[in-house]
Chains A and B, each alone.
Chain A
């Protein structure tokens, strides 16, 4: 290998050494988000499998639980698909949230995070960039989910196009906000298997001990208590209100505020974890 004079190295002899004065945080986030997005969206295998998951969830749950629509606790005049789709939307966004953490762990393992950390950039950029990429993928998945619900499953949201779009936005925002919990976990635990287990343990009760698949009133008494304090219940309520009525009033505001608050607290914790000595 021949290396033409003075092109690879640095030090005093490099012609334009030191001409790059570092990048701004906005550029860092943008460049890193694009990087993650490329892996998430441009790899057809990863893209298709991630789009298929919510579709399958809708297919399976709409068949298994359809009978619940005939029980007395079920709200009158609402079809089960109309009831289920908002829950699947929130669940899809939560899956994306979990994926953010798992994807990040894998990168911690293969050393790319260490490389990025050795650069003169704000470590938070690495996390924010990834969370934005995952948010965009989450939106993509939600759009595909809604399209198939409308075209194949006979989803007829009374809230109209505006309500559905607002519902998509809210679900994605919820997933993005709560996703920071998984990012923070990743930054502190740093082990793929552990993260997967902990994420699963967290996600499972959040989804099932809620009003996602059956109305709260149809749950056993003790589970009702859990479901009422479960933030998912309120998020799903808000998305349901948006898609069913086109307006969610206070519940949407509470959901947005909660998601943002979680993002700030967990985000701060995550950056601390990433900067932590190991």
Chain B
């Protein structure tokens, strides 16, 4: 699958597997991320996202397969690879005993900057990340959002060509989340390549040109967000009524209009998959013609759960039909 962008390949993985004893954390994972693009890695906890990030950042060795980042092999050239990458993990890893500024200076010095260069780079990043006022305070006094920004800044000190962001918005409030999204966009504008893991489909939808869905260590689907949504989940319309009697009438009315309604009596609501906006108009018209009063109408994008369930059931079905073929 060739993702949008089409620059030089910056992350290439082929058949990556990882076993911990008898547990298979990853199995046969391929990945292609091109320069200047954001690739999303979507999956629930335990899907293997963090393990893949750890392999690609040379923190743990794959049990199978090969991968290169910025042209350097994750197993054979870990030192050179680390010069090209920045990593922000799920938990803000800053030195709590140091000030915000000293945290950044420390990283810069370890990357080989002289004292003056290190200070200049730290100030530049503090400015960019809105941390100038708090620069002299110990990091342990920072709020969650500030800490995360400092952590992000720390991973960018060396101007990495490839940035790994492992669930960078987990646990952040909405404003801080928007902040992180802007940082990701700015990174890409500046020419960096970003691998972003998330549990939220909307986050990946907003930021990335291509994505991979992981489940139980395997790739469930890959492509652009558009392709995936088309292939997987459809949007759904949820119509709620005042009375169960209305709901019972609505079922046949919607079926009669060529739609596939699913009734939920407990919530006096009906869920209808919609393909186009015309379907929404059809729903409203059909119910209006039947003289039904709707108390609420919502159109929802597929959630990660729906994408998952849909992908899973598709996978189960194809496995089933393969077995059926084999029996014949």
Chain A residues engaging chain B, CB cutoff 8 angstroms: 1, 3-14, 16-18, 20-23, 27-28, 31-32, 35, 38-39, 43, 110-112, 114-121, 277-278
Alpha-carbon gap, A32 to B98, bound state (A) = 12
Interface flags for B162-201 (1: CB within 8 Å of A; 0: not) read: 0100000000000000010011001111111100000000
Which residue of A has the minimal Cβ distance to B191?
A: A11
- Checking A12, A22, A32, A111 against B111 with a beta-carbon cut-off of 8 angstroms, the contacting residue is A22
Extra inter-chain contacts (4) besides given A31-B109, A112-B94, A118-B85, CB under 8 Å: A8-B125, A31-B106, A112-B93, A112-B95
Q: A112-B93, A118-B82, A120-B83 are in contact. Are A28 and B159 (CB under 8 A)?
A: no
CB atoms of A14 and B190 under 8 A apart? yes
Q: Which residues of A contact B83 (CB under 8 A)?
A: 22, 120
Minimum CB–CB distance from A49 to chain B (whole Å) comes to 15
**Inter-subunit contact B93/A7 (CB<8 Å):** no
In the bound complex, do residue B110 and residue A28 qualify as a contact, i.e. CB atoms below 8 Å apart?
yes
Does residue B89 face the partner (Cβ distance < 8 Å to A)?
yes
A259: min CB distance to chain B, Å: 28
B112 to chain A, nearest CB (A): 4
Query: Which 7 residue pairs spanning A and B have beta carbons closest together?
Result: A9-B190, A11-B191, A111-B93, A39-B97, A10-B159, A20-B112, A120-B82
Residues on the B chain within 8 Å of A119, using CB: 82, 107, 110-111
Residues in B with CB closer than 8 Å to A12 are: 191
B139 to chain A, nearest CB (A): 10
Query: Which of B95, B124, B156, B183 has most chain A Cβ within 10 Å?
Result: B95
A139 to chain B: closest CB distance in Å?
20
Tell me the smallest distance from the CB of B50 to a CB of chain A, in Å.
11
15 A-B contact pairs sorted by A residue (CB < 8 Å):
A1-B128, A3-B183, A5-B190, A9-B163, A11-B161, A16-B159, A20-B112, A27-B112, A112-B94, A115-B93, A117-B59, A118-B85, A119-B107, A119-B111, A120-B111
Chain B proximity of A115: nearest CB distance (Å)? 4
Please tell me if the beta carbons of A8 and B187 are within 8 angstroms of each other in the complex.
Answer: yes
Question: Nearest residue in A to B18 (C-beta to C-beta)?
Answer: A277
Most chain B beta-carbon neighbours within 10 Å: one of A5, A14, A120: A120
Taking each of A1, A10, A22, which has the highest tally of chain B beta carbons within 10 Å of its own beta carbon?
A10
Give A27 to B186 CA distance when docked, in angstroms: 32
- CA–CA, A111 to B92, complex, Å? 7
Chain B CB count within 10 A is highest, among A11, A22, A115, for: A11
- Chain B residues 68-106 with CB under 8 Å of chain A are 79-80, 82-83, 85-87, 89, 91-98, 102, 106
Are A11 and B110 in contact, CB atoms less than 8 angstroms apart? no
Query: CA–CA, A10 to B92, complex, Å?
Result: 21
Kindly state the separation between the CA atoms of A111 and B150 in the bound complex, as whole angstroms. 14
A278 touches B109 (CB 8 A): no
Q: How near does chain A come to B219, taking the closest CB pair, in angstroms?
A: 23
B57 interface residue, CB < 8 Å from A? yes
Partner of A21, one of B112, B128, B154: B112
Minimum CB distance partner of A107 in chain B:
B95
Q: Identify the B interface with A (CB < 8 A).
A: 35-36, 57, 59-61, 79-80, 82-83, 85-87, 89, 91-98, 102, 106-113, 117, 124-125, 128-130, 153-156, 158-161, 163, 179, 182-183, 186-193
Q: Please pick, from B80, B82, B129, B190, the residue contacting A11 in the complex, using a CB distance under 8 A.
A: B190
Q: Contacts A1-B130, A38-B97 hold; do A8 and B183 have CB atoms under 8 A apart?
A: yes
Contact partner of A1 among B161, B179, B191, CB < 8 A?
B179
A10 and B109 contacting across the interface, CB-CB below 8 Å: no
Tell whether, in the assembled complex, residue B93 and residue A14 are in contact, meaning their CB atoms are under 8 Å apart: no
The smallest beta-carbon distance between B100 and chain A, in angstroms, is 14
Nearest opposing residue in chain A for B107, CB measure:
A119
Whether B191 contacts A14 by the Cβ 8 Å rule is: yes
**Contact call B190/A8, Cβ cutoff below 8 A:** yes
Q: Which of A8, A43, A112 contacts B128 (CB 8 A)?
A: A8
Interchain nearest-CB distance for A261 vs B (Å): 29
A195–B172 Cα gap in the complex (Å)? 32
Contact A115 B154 (CB under 8 A): yes
> Which residue of chain B is the closest to A46 with respect to CB atoms?
B97
User: Which residues on the B side are within 8 Å of A22 (C-beta)?
Assistant: 79, 83, 111-112
Do the beta carbons of B93 and A114 come within 8 Å of each other?
A: yes
- CB neighbours of A8 from chain B (8 A): 125, 128-129, 153, 156, 183, 186-187, 190
Please state if A13 and B125 are interface contacts (CB–CB under 8 Å).
Answer: no
Chain A residues with CB below 8 A from B129, complex form: 1, 8
Complex: chain B residue closest to A43, CB-CB: B97
Q: Chain A residues near B193 (CB, 8 Å)?
A: 11
The CA of A117 and the CA of B102, in the complex, are separated in Å by 18
Shortest C-beta distance, A23 to chain B (Å), equals 4
CB distance from A171 to the nearest CB of B (A): 27
